[in-house]
Structure 1
Amino acid sequence: MATTALLAAGLGYGQARKDSDAVDLDPIVVTASPFVERKEELVVPTGELTGEALKRSVESSLGATLSGEPGIRSTYYGPGAGRPVIRGFDGDRIRILNQGTDSFDVSQTSPDHGVSIEPLFADDIEVVRGPASLLYGNAAIGGVINVIGKELPRERALRPLSGQIETSYGSVSDEKSFGLALQGGQGDFAWSAGFLDRQSNDFEIPGFAESFYQMEAEEHEHEHEEGEEHEHEGDEAEEDEHHEHEEDEEVFGVLENSFVDTRSGYLGLAWFGERGSLAVSYSEYASDYGVPGHSHAHAHEEEHDEDEAHEEEEEHEEHGEETVVIDLDQSRFTVRGELIDPVDFLESLEMDLTFGDYRHAELEGEVVGTVFDRDGYELRLTGVHSPIGNLTGALGVQAKVDDFAAVGEEAFIPSSETAQYGIFAMERLNRGWGAWEFGARLESVEIDPVDEELANRSFDTVNASAGFVRRLDERSVVSANLVYAERAPNASELFAFGPHVGTQSFEIGDASIGEESSASLDLSYRLTAGRITGEITAFYSDFSDYVYLQYLDHEAVEELYGELDTDGLNVYRAIAADAKFYGFEVDLRYHLIDEADRAMHIDFLYDQIRATNESFGTNLPRIPTRRVGLRYEYVAGPWLWGAEGQWNDGASHLGPNQLPTDSYTLWSADARYRMYETDTAAVDVFVVGTNLSDEEARPHTSFLKDLAPMPGRSLRLGLRTSF
């Protein structure tokens, strides 16, 4: 790869004119600002996954699709569930949006709950790294991911009918996928429709499902149990238990219960006028996927009477070991409207309204164990006001109301209704050298539990920011952004009480917890034109009353809660402490050739994050490790070639009660050949190879890292056509 790059670079420089420096035009990132049009003009660090890069990166989960982007990893709970992690933040500190409004799922409550968004239907995935709470509420204290799909027509149709069809096959899990997206219209009217079906079996892994560290920990635990049980049981029972333990360790080559079966479809309609537009869409998303790693298998019961033990043994013999499958269904109705010059002081007014209805059932064998329901609506009104001298800006209101209910054995979060109302304003003072930008948001959050024994909690949060972007010359800019943000705790942090075997824990909330607050600073240097383009960012966040789950040993549990039946699960309670997050990200592209008929570049990625619990002098758990990546890409005529290597460091800063994670390197390659092309149609055949060295890889951000590695060597073959 290096030799080819150097040879092509010499050839490219020889053919290029002296004044033909490469120019990389920045895309528009609408998520970061309602009134700034170019990425280079933004104060906050942002990213966008679109075009060929998005098509190459698409996976069955949103987290896996974005995991190669700077500062982003995945919680990775198998191929069916993976939520993005931004700079070490996940859960309710990252807002995941679908067409600019809430995704209306329950992925923030547990890592084994999938995000109800199909990445294959996305046109763009926009990322704001760092606090974006001014526009999107206090739950965006760590960042925002906005998936802009094909459901809502956003412009007039160019032809009465056009579309895209993609079908592919993946070797590692016998995955078969088919997606169809159609759009069209005439005059002021446009429509869109689509359907997707993806089916995959349990995927292959390079070695054992359990990590070496997990096996070692279990062996120590087993030896300890043997010593205690030897006094009460005979050698025969002890030998049988040891035999069962060895069988559990011999899961090799295939990760059990890692299948995914997803169906999705949508229909959208739009009208465009001279002074506005209105679009509506309806979509359905359904996914059945296995939860690998036996994470929902209950821990050893410490006490059984003889009848219970006999019944469990008969059930196990009759039905075999139960696996857990999540049966997920969601429907969404979305409305987007825009008015141009609605009144004298507004240039535009945009409305985004979504109704969501979500339900998933966790099936233990053929029995429904727990059912999660969430339904509600979100409304955003954003107006961009007319310039006042050099001052431009936007103001808006936002309301979100949703009902959450959980019923069953693992309903550790009580049912509740959450209402959030906010007002915000952002202003930009344009100067000759760049711009100043500042804003504020006031938000009210009320959580009303259904259980009358639990008291309502209400919070008022304040968020404010100030920053600038400054042009150094025609090719480079610098920006800085200082944000003060407050986040209200969610229902889980306040009221949880019970087994949460998705994370193999018994969680206890604290109804007295208040708002957490943070002061964050981002510094960015951007190269917007020339042989090297990209962005280098350093960030720092200082939290007060950072809410996290603290591990409690048996003595602490007994002292605080008395005799508590935890089913042998580790016990964690919500607690507030001071915390710090800091690190930096590098995302650069070196343009070797940039011509009309061919192009070549090398991408360099580096990110590093550190997060500490300042109150207790420990490390925060599951923080992403250091990462270095290189990608080479060459496009010539109908061909596109790519090769990539990404090294992930081992975990050296472990949180309490956390096992080590080894380093690993993932090698991948891809190729695309355009078989047919006209002005209105194209047919591509493509192949993508991942983990080509078949290396055992366990992301440190995953709750499941010691029970389920990432897939082994895989080839994905596919055909893509547009017309």
Structure 2
Amino acid sequence: MKKYLFFILFITAFNLAFGQDEEVVVTSSVTGATLAEIDSPVFVIKGDEVNYSGTTSLGGNLNYLLGVNSSDFGPAVGQPVIRGMGGTRVRILSNGKLIRDVSGLGTDHLNDVDLNDITQIEVVRGPSSLLYSNGTMGGIINVVDQTITSKDFEGDDFNIGLERQSVNTGSSGSFSYKGNINGTNLTYAVREVNFDSYDVPIGAIIHEEDGEDDHDEDHEEGHLDNSDIYTFSNRLGTSWVRDWGYFGFSLGRIENSYGIAFHGEEEEHDDGDGGDGGDDHDEHEGERIQADTLSENITIEGASTNLSGIEKLSYFFQFNDYSFTEGHVEMHHDDDDDGGDGDDDHDEHAPTTFTNESFEFGLKLDIGDQASGNRQNFTVNLSQEDVAIIGEEAFMQPVDSKMLSLGYFLSRELAVFDLDFGIRVDQVERDGSMVSGTPAVTVLHDISETDVSAALTMGWDLDNNLGLTLGISSVARAPSEKELFMNGVHLVAARNEFGDPTLESERSNNIDFSLDYENDGYFVNASVYTNAVDNYIYLVDSGNDGANNLDNFNYVQADANFHGYEVEFGKTISLNNAELLFSYGRDQVIGTFSDGGNVPRITPVKNIYRFAVEQDDVIYDIKVKDVQREDDLGVGETATEGFTMLDLDIRRSIAIGDNEELVLSIFGRNLLDEKARSHTSFVKDEVPLAGRNFGIKVNFNF
């Protein structure tokens, strides 16, 4: 592998003329401060790195960040995992507002966020993210765009994008507009993605009935059936900016249709011993499992800045109507790859629909003086979610949730150190029910949790080159709907899942210490943390078979401890016409239960090597991710082999006229065609990561 790497490095750097690039100042919309002013571990991925790169899931865009991984369920689903924590412990935001889909109800559900024409992605690791959002332990991921802008656009900006990928013979197209018409800011963005099922390295797919030593011989598939995805997203926004502040609203709509590669295969051999219950799940060979989602969103927001004694009063209202439908579709084998449509006469199971109708109101009162570096905020958030599952495979009764969050946040620049403090009071009420017994008996549950969370961060600038940060936090998270009320067969995951209405709130007590050093082009960033979680909630195999010949999994609680580190160091070299970057990073997290044993699906150790060159209007970026074997296993887990992922991006900007620009991007993913799988995934063996992929993307800005 090293031979290939150094050969590519040599070819990339050959014949370059070197120079110096201008400094770019990036500001986090979460904190309102530049990265140089932020003491908490905030990472910002620039919009160009996403807009001009290959289309992938949210988690796929974050995989090269230290401390961040994703739990995959095919190309459509990549739920982020931060410092070993995923699910509802990681909050996904859009412009600072929580995305309320149903990703928390299943590992096969995607995070429904629009990544077209974004400004940046912000990632805050660890419970210090309490300073920016409520109820987080792992961290937050905030996707930022300019759909509702608080600053007037200057001129009109259009973008047209086209993309092609080899691993899935897929394509995408996008269009966006930003401009100001007679004092009214207007934005529109639309994108269509159409990817077929993707290729995998020969022998990468492992079926559950295979023996550990011979599965590669028995299954030589080089293609993962039913791993296609179609997405159509569009959003429209407008705003008015005046001396008193701004006001705006937006409409957003996202449609997805994607195959679930694991489901059909698993059902074929769950009942393979005798074929009893043939009307349930024993024969699905000609069947496709398809998920269709629809998200419709209305957002109103604004701010007033001319109030006496108040620097800014900000507010928003958001309504979201979300549905996720999972259905069994009969495939016609005389058609082309993806079979098609015949789903009305041959369905063995009626579709199951997950819905989430929600609204949220937020108010923030800023009484600080940002010019002097002193900030002081009061926040109020009110929200309601009505979650329901309708259909033959409904494994949870409807749940009505009401949430109230009150927060106070203080940021001060003191003589010796900078201080950030936040405290939140969160009240969560969930009304649900569980059905059990024969005859069936419905038991109603009215659950209420009131939790107080606090976080303190102190930062010291020892000199112009070295900074230290200490974070201390105690953060609570109320149990989610599925952890409380799940009660039945989850066929897509091939297991029966049972919640527990008596579960208590988790509490994370975290200490995080980080160091940042930069001098003469050299840089070092290092963090070490320990996180003791009381009443940690997790899903565990009970060891008993249940309905449909599937294993029973229960949500249980135990005290757990997480500790780990992230470290990165490197060197930037400025030459005549270019800038070079060399860096190495490594992260590790260890999760254990207080009474013994390992927390399941912990992310393995990874090493990241990067070499990048920016010369005039051309960028070369090579990344190598070396993921080590994971064999510190929880109950019911199997070891996951390590892999080495080699990725390449080349981007060139070509000026066509005074205001026209063509951006040509060429990218390669998994260039070594490695068999790779995510240890954090429940379906890592049956749904490996994609094989070698080449792609090209063209964007025209005018």
Normalization by structure 2: what TM-score? 0.89
The 8 Å contact of residues 203 and 217 in structure 2, kept in 1 or not, is answered as no
Is 1:300 the equivalent of 2:270?
Answer: yes
Q: Distance in 2 between matches of 1:127 and 1:324?
A: 33
Question: Could you say what secondary structure the match of 1:502 adopts?
Answer: helix
Q: Distance in 2 between matches of 1:588 and 1:56?
A: 26
Matched ranges for 1:604-615 at <5 A: 604-615=584-595
Q: Residue 611 of structure 1 aligns to which amino acid in structure 2? A: G
Matched ranges for 1:577-596 at <5 A: 577-593=558-574
Q: Distance in 1 between matches of 2:285 and 2:526?
A: 53
Quick one: which of 271, 275, 280 aligns to 2:244? 275
Q: Residue 266 of structure 1 aligns to which amino acid in structure 2? A: R
Q: Distance in 1 between matches of 2:696 and 2:18?
A: 35
Identify the residue that residue 419 of structure 1 maps to in structure 2.
402
Q: Distance in 2 between matches of 1:247 and 1:8?
A: 36
Quick one: which of 211, 216, 219 aligns to 1:250? 219
Give, in angstroms, the shift of residue 97 of structure 1: 0.7
Give, in angstroms, the shift of residue 526 of structure 1: 1.6
Identify the residue that residue 264 of structure 1 maps to in structure 2.
233
The 8 Å contact of residues 44 and 121 in structure 2, kept in 1 or not, is answered as yes
Quick one: which of 165, 172, 176 aligns to 1:181? 176
Q: Distance in 2 between matches of 1:15 and 1:201?
A: 41
Q: Distance in 1 between matches of 2:81 and 2:693?
A: 24
Give, in angstroms, the shift of residue 527 of structure 1: 2.9
Q: Distance in 1 between matches of 2:686 and 2:125?
A: 30
Identify the residue that residue 600 of structure 1 maps to in structure 2.
580
Identify the residue that residue 488 of structure 2 maps to in structure 1.
498
Identify the residue that residue 388 of structure 2 maps to in structure 1.
405
Identify the residue that residue 671 of structure 1 maps to in structure 2.
650
Cα–Cα, structure 1 residues 349 and 132, in superposed 2: closer, same or farther, change >3 Å? farther
Question: Could you say what secondary structure the match of 1:173 adopts?
Answer: coil
Identify the residue that residue 153 of structure 1 maps to in structure 2.
149
Q: Distance in 2 between matches of 1:61 and 1:629?
A: 20
Is 1:714 the equivalent of 2:700?
Answer: no
Q: Distance in 2 between matches of 1:10 and 1:261?
A: 40
Give, in angstroms, the shift of residue 438 of structure 1: 1.6
The answer to which of 136-145 and 437-446 deviates more is 136-145
Q: Distance in 2 between matches of 1:542 and 1:247?
A: 40
The 8 Å contact of residues 8 and 592 in structure 1, kept in 2 or not, is answered as no
Matched ranges for 1:434-453 at <5 A: 434-449=417-432, 453=443
Identify the residue that residue 289 of structure 2 maps to in structure 1.
324
Is 1:43 the equivalent of 2:39?
Answer: yes
Identify the residue that residue 324 of structure 2 maps to in structure 1.
360
Is 1:642 the equivalent of 2:621?
Answer: yes
Q: Distance in 1 between matches of 2:561 and 2:248?
A: 43
Cα–Cα, structure 1 residues 533 and 343, in superposed 2: closer, same or farther, change >3 Å? farther
Cα–Cα, structure 1 residues 439 and 118, in superposed 2: closer, same or farther, change >3 Å? closer
| Ranges in structure 1 where 5+ consecutive residues have no aligned partner | 220-245, 555-563
Identify the residue that residue 231 of structure 1 maps to in structure 2.
none
Give, in angstroms, the shift of residue 183 of structure 1: 1.1
Normalization by structure 1: what TM-score? 0.87
Identify the residue that residue 77 of structure 1 maps to in structure 2.
73
Is 1:657 the equivalent of 2:658?
Answer: no
The 8 Å contact of residues 128 and 471 in structure 2, kept in 1 or not, is answered as no
Is 1:374 the equivalent of 2:374?
Answer: no
The 8 Å contact of residues 134 and 464 in structure 1, kept in 2 or not, is answered as yes
Residues 242-272 of structure 1 deviation map (CA, whole Å, 9 limit, x = unaligned): xxxx999536010010000110111111100
Matched ranges for 1:111-190 at <5 A: 111-132=107-128, 134-135=130-131, 138-159=134-155, 161-186=156-181, 188-190=183-185
Quick one: which of 176, 198, 207 aligns to 1:203? 198
Residues 628-674 of structure 1 deviation map (CA, whole Å, 9 limit, x = unaligned): 11111112123222222110001021111111100100112121222
Give, in angstroms, the shift of residue 137 of structure 1: 5.2
Q: Distance in 2 between matches of 1:141 and 1:681?
A: 44
Give, in angstroms, the shift of residue 111 of structure 1: 1.2
Residues 271-327 of structure 1 deviation map (CA, whole Å, 9 limit, x = unaligned): 000120112110110010000123675363489898x64x789x96xx852121001
The 8 Å contact of residues 202 and 222 in structure 2, kept in 1 or not, is answered as yes
Q: Distance in 2 between matches of 1:517 and 1:2?
A: 47
Quick one: which of 675, 678, 692 aligns to 1:699? 678
Is 1:539 the equivalent of 2:535?
Answer: no
Cα–Cα, structure 1 residues 582 and 502, in superposed 2: closer, same or farther, change >3 Å? farther
Cα–Cα, structure 1 residues 670 and 305, in superposed 2: closer, same or farther, change >3 Å? closer
Identify the residue that residue 336 of structure 2 maps to in structure 1.
none
Q: CA RMSD in A?
A: 3.0
Is 1:633 the equivalent of 2:605?
Answer: no
Q: Distance in 1 between matches of 2:531 and 2:568?
A: 21
The answer to which of 684-693 and 630-639 deviates more is 630-639
- Which is richer in helix? 1
Q: Distance in 1 between matches of 2:570 and 2:248?
A: 37
Quick one: which of 56, 60, 63 aligns to 1:60? 56
Task: Give the total of aligned pairs.
Answer: 671
Quick one: which of 187, 191, 203 aligns to 1:192? 187
Give, in angstroms, the shift of residue 620 of structure 1: 1.0
Q: Distance in 1 between matches of 2:652 and 2:87?
A: 39
Q: Residue 327 of structure 2 aligns to which amino acid in structure 1? A: L
Question: Could you say what secondary structure the match of 2:471 adopts?
Answer: strand
Q: Distance in 2 between matches of 1:297 and 1:408?
A: 21
The answer to which of 256-265 and 104-113 deviates more is 104-113
Give, in angstroms, the shift of residue 217 of structure 1: 5.5
Identify the residue that residue 466 of structure 1 maps to in structure 2.
456
The 8 Å contact of residues 61 and 118 in structure 1, kept in 2 or not, is answered as no
Cα–Cα, structure 1 residues 329 and 248, in superposed 2: closer, same or farther, change >3 Å? farther
Cα–Cα, structure 1 residues 218 and 363, in superposed 2: closer, same or farther, change >3 Å? farther
The answer to which of 258-267 and 376-385 deviates more is 376-385
The 8 Å contact of residues 131 and 455 in structure 2, kept in 1 or not, is answered as no
